[in-house]
Amino acid sequence: MDDITPYIFVGAGIVLLSFAYRQRIKISLLKNAAKAEAVVIDNIEKYHQHGKSGYTKLYYPVVKYNSGSNEVICQLPYGFSPEKSAGTILTIYYNPEKPSEVYDDSAAGFKALPIILMLSGGTMLILGLLYFVGCFLW
């Protein structure tokens, strides 16, 4: 069995299913999240390596917002380039039970993505597994 095709299908299927799961979790977190307007008070500069030769500089805003009667200050879990200047107002979503837990709302706009990923990943996984089973039966 020298053909690598079933391995590619099974691997791609598993990767797509894991992305679908993560996206689905993100959407469910956003359903229970509270929305707030946050003011950027600072930026934390971080470098992320990409490839062997380069780095990307991202700025992670430190924001201040009100959660009920409490004022919360936290660093956002996602970065921007260029940096957001102090005083910029951002819309954020946070966990009302843990106000310092902030979510990115990028998943909110495309709710069909987990379904597409699950269907694609499941199909690829089944095709790869069927190929393996077929090799053993013939």
One-character DSSP codes across 29-81: HHHTPEEEEEEEEEEEEEEEEETTTEEEEEEEEEEEEEETTEEEEEE-SS-BS
Residue 104: the pLDDT is: 64
Fold of the 34-95 domain: OB fold (Dihydrolipoamide Acetyltransferase, E2P) (2.40.50)
Residue 5: the pLDDT is: 80
- Positions in the chain whose pLDDT score sits under 50: 1, 107
Instruction: Phi first, then psi: give them for residue 27, nearest 5 degrees.
Output: -65, -40
Contact 72, 64 (CB under 8 A): yes
Q: What is the pTM of this model?
A: 0.59
Nearest of 37, 36, 86 to residue 61 by alpha carbon: 86
- Judge if the upstream peptide bond of residue 6 is cis by omega within 30 degrees of 0: no
Residue 48: the pLDDT is: 78
Residue 106: the pLDDT is: 57
Per domain, the residue ranges of the chain are 1-31+109-138, 34-95
- pLDDT tens column, 57-80: 889 999 999 888 889 999 988 888
Residue 136: the pLDDT is: 67
Instruction: Phi first, then psi: give them for residue 59, nearest 5 degrees.
Output: -115, 120
